[in-house]
Amino acid sequence: MSQFNYQNQTLFAENVCVSQLAQTYGTPLYVYSKTEFEQRWKMFDEAFADQPHLVCYAVKTNSNIAILNVLAKLGSGFDIVSRGELERVLRAGGDPKKVVFSGVAKQSVEIQRALEVGIRCFNIESFAELDRIQTVAKQMDIVAPVSIRVNPDVDAQTHPYISTGLKDNKFGVDIEKAPELYQTAANYSHINPIGIDCHIGSQLTQIAPFVDALERVLKLKQHLADNGIEIHHLDLGGGLGITYTDETPPEVASYIQALLKKLDDSSVEVIIEPGRAIAGNAGILVTEVEYLKPTDHKNFAIIDAAMNDLIRPALYQAYQRIEPVKLHSDGTKAKWDIVGPVCETGDFLGKDRELNLQAGDLLAVMSAGAYGFTMASNYNTRPRAAEIMVQDDKVWEIRPRETYEDLMGSEKLIS
Ligand SMILES: *Cc1c(COP(=O)(O)O)cnc(C)c1O
């Protein structure tokens, strides 16, 4: 199933030898499977069958324009959270009419640009934002299509940092307050409320919270209809989890079917915004062991990738599998903390991993296709890793490793 498998004791990405890629492009190195991206996107699209729908890939998950372009060619829509992401979608050949714009802090210039290119919908997160969009749209004499992002107050049962549908976080508006906001929107001259939006969290491994949220959204839709506001689409957000180690998230098809069953309406358009469930297992981060440092208390394997390349373990205590690129025929396993070169105690990619290691070995941090490169930084003046895409035995360098000129070239001495 996975596109990352061993052939003759060596890890391959599709039909490309990972150690060969490391030799050619250096490490740390992100490697993505084009086939995996395509197959996962299609799973979502096909599960909807005849229901009007749009799969809007969440750009923040992995935003390299080669990846956006692969998805755009399949007909994908895009969920963006900034003007920068909009520019990426346009550059990648994405259709602006399939773009939905989420995010709590849209600036006037971002709204203006989105109206200018004619996006499908703004997902509005507050009264103040609605006012701002009305103002900008009026100046441009364009009517802005909007959804209100409601907060259905369901517990997504995931990590608190990636749970977004509860009353006490910054996202969305209380579903109880939503009717008032829709009335205001309907009365504004340059706003057209066309949808309802929600996104309750990320890395969900159960279907129930999604169905609960949909149930509340449907009640709101009926309430709005009773008050003369016709809703054309329901945007149910992203959030479907993936298997990092032993999680057992629902299959894409069962998740979509559960939604359609609850929906019981073949006319309303459904938008979804999956990110991780498409990208997560489509990428790995390849790194080399620089030093082995066994101590009395712990064994450290110091690698050339760090929290600046992949921050999920440090930020969310996330677990990602770490596998050897080449399996040794000799030696024994020991417990290793896999740590990076950055000057922070939190700089680790894995703890207590049973591995048979030697200095110079290559390791693959699995499930690194989502929230990997897009959350990378230059902390410690470390150039960001190169990104490679493969399909079958074909290889494309979709972003070269940053150079020191990239890092410092625009900085200036004073006087
Ligand atoms: C992050 C985000 C997504 C994607 O979430 P995944 O868990 O990666 O599927 C979708 N919609 C919104 C509004 C988001 O903020």
What does DSSP say about strands 191-197 and 144-151: parallel, antiparallel, or unpaired?
parallel
| CA distance from start to end of the chain | 59
My answer on whether 180 and 326 are in the same domain is: no
- Tens of pLDDT, residue by residue over 177-195, are 999 999 999 999 999 999 9
- Separation of 266 CA from ligand 1 center, angstroms? 25
Q: Is residue 65 part of a domain?
A: no
82 within ligand 1 shell (Cβ under 6 A): no
pLDDT 10s digits, 94-106: 999 999 999 999 9
- Packing angle, helices 127-140 and 108-117, rounded to 10: 50
> What distance in angstroms lies between residue 199's CA and the mean position of ligand 1's atoms?
7
Find the 356 Cα to ligand 1 centroid distance in Å. Answer: 37
Q: Residue 210 C-alpha to ligand 1 middle, in angstroms?
A: 13
Residues 313 and 261 in one domain: no
Pocket test for ligand 1, best of 40, 54, 102, 157 (most atoms within 8 A of CB): 102
pLDDT single digits (tens) 197-244:
999 999 999 999 999 999 999 999 999 999 999 999 999 999 999 999
Q: Closest ligand 1 atom to the C-alpha of 241?
A: 7
Same domain for 121 and 147, yes or no, is: yes
Domain CATH number, residue 240: 3.20.20.10
313-348 pLDDT tens trace = 999 999 999 999 999 989 999 999 999 999 888 899
- What's the mean pLDDT in 351-359? 97
Which ranges of 151-303 would DSSP assign to H, the alpha helix? 178-187, 208-226, 252-263, 276-279
Distance in Å, CA 56 to ligand 1 centroid: 10
In a domain, 291, yes or no: yes
**What atom of ligand 1 comes closest to residue 162's alpha carbon?**
7
pLDDT higher than 70, residue 369: yes
Domain that holds residue 343: 4-32+280-408
If one counts every other C-beta atom within 10 angstroms of the C-beta of residue 10, the result is 16
**CB of 199 shorter than 6 A to ligand 1:** yes
What are the C-alpha distances in Å from 181 to residues 91, 110, 154, 178, 396?
34, 22, 20, 5, 47
Which band of pLDDT confidence, cut at 50, 70 and 90, is reported for residue 167? low
Task: Tell me 91's DSSP state.
Answer: H
Query: What residues have CB less than 8 Å from 114, skipping those under 6 apart?
Result: 83, 86, 99, 101, 122
Query: The dihedral of CA 345, 348, 354, 360: what is its sign?
Result: negative
- Residue whose C-alpha is closest to residue 157's, from 249, 244, 243, 79: 249
SS3 140: helix
Task: Determine contact, residues 109/83, Cβ cutoff 8 Å.
Answer: yes
Asked if 241 and 288 sit in the same domain, the reply is no
Question: DSSP per residue over 19-70, as a string?
Answer: HHHHHHH-SSEEEEEHHHHHHHHHHHHHHTTTS-EEEEEEGGG---HHHHHH
Non-local (6+) Cβ contacts of 390 within 8 A are 13, 14, 15, 16, 21, 31, 32, 33, 34, 396
- Number of structural domains (the chain) is 2
Report d(CA 125, CA 104) in Å as an integer: 6
Q: Does ligand 1 lie within 6 Å of residue 216's CB atom?
A: no
pLDDT of residue 159: 61
- 3-state SS assignment for residue 325: coil
Helix (H) or strand (E) holding 127: helix 127-140
Ligand 1 within 6 A of CB of 275: yes
> What pLDDT is recorded for position 266?
87
Residue 161 has pLDDT above 70, yes or no: no
Q: What pTM did the predictor assign?
A: 0.96
Q: Which helix (H) or strand (E) holds 304?
A: none
For residue 384, the CA-to-ligand 1 centroid distance in Å is 23
* Cα(369)–Cα(29) distance, integer angstroms: 12
59, 78 in Cβ contact below 8 A? yes
Question: Per the domain annotation, does 55 fall within a domain?
Answer: no
Pocket flag, ligand 1, residue 372 (CB < 6 Å):
no
CATH classification at residue 21? 2.40.37.10
Q: Is 343 one of the annotated active-site residues of the chain?
A: yes
Q: What is the DSSP letter of 163?
A: B
pLDDT of 162 > 80? The answer is no
Considering 272, 298, 321, which residue would you say is the last residue of a domain? Answer: 272
Query: What letters, b where the CB count within 10 A reaches 16 and e where it falls short, cover 356-377?
Result: ebeeebbbbbbbbbbbbbebbe
On whether both 234 and 331 belong to a single domain, the answer is: no
Do 284 and 266 share a domain, yes or no? no
d(CA 335, CA 354): 5
With respect to residue 43, please indicate whether it lies within any of the assigned structural domains. Answer: no
Q: How far is the CA of 290 from the centre of ligand 1 (A)?
A: 35
Q: What 3-state class would DSSP assign to 154?
A: coil
Instruction: Look over the chain and give the mean of its residue pLDDT values, rounded to a whole number.
Output: 95
- Give yes or no for residue 58 CB within 6 A of ligand 1: yes
Please indicate, yes or no, if residue 91 is contained in any of the structural domains. Answer: no
Domain end, chosen from 222, 254, 272, is at: 272
In a domain, 201, yes or no: yes
Decide which of 217, 243, 272 is a domain's last residue. Answer: 272
Residues 267 and 285 in one domain: no
Q: Residue 415 has what pLDDT? A: 84
C-beta 102 within 6 A of ligand 1: yes
pLDDT digits (tens, 9 = 90+) for 88-133: 999 999 999 999 999 999 999 999 999 999 999 999 999 999 999 9
Same domain, yes or no, for 268 and 284? Answer: no
**Ligand 1 closest atom vs CA 239:** 7
Residues 290 and 149 in one domain: no
* 361 and 387, same domain (yes or no): yes
What does the pLDDT look like over 13-72, one tens digit per residue?
999 999 999 999 999 999 999 999 999 999 999 999 999 999 999 999 999 999 999 999
Q: Is 238 in the pocket of ligand 1 (CB under 6 A)?
A: yes
**Residues 185 and 121: beta-carbon distance below 8 Å:** no
3-state DSSP assignment of residue 281: helix
Neighbours of 74 (CB within 10 A): 13
Peptide bond into 209 cis (omega under 30): no
Q: Whose CA is nearest to atom 3 of ligand 1?
A: 238
Q: Is residue 44 part of a domain?
A: no
Strand partners, 78: 57, 99
Assess if residue 259 is contained within a domain: yes
Q: Is 361 in the pocket of ligand 1 (CB under 6 A)?
A: no
From 56, 121, 198, 343, active-site residue? 343
Weakest mean pLDDT among 154-168, 264-278, 400-414: 154-168
Q: Are both 318 and 267 inside the same structural domain?
A: no
Residues 322 and 374 in one domain: yes
Which pLDDT belongs to residue 172?
Answer: 87
| Across 154-183, average pLDDT | 77
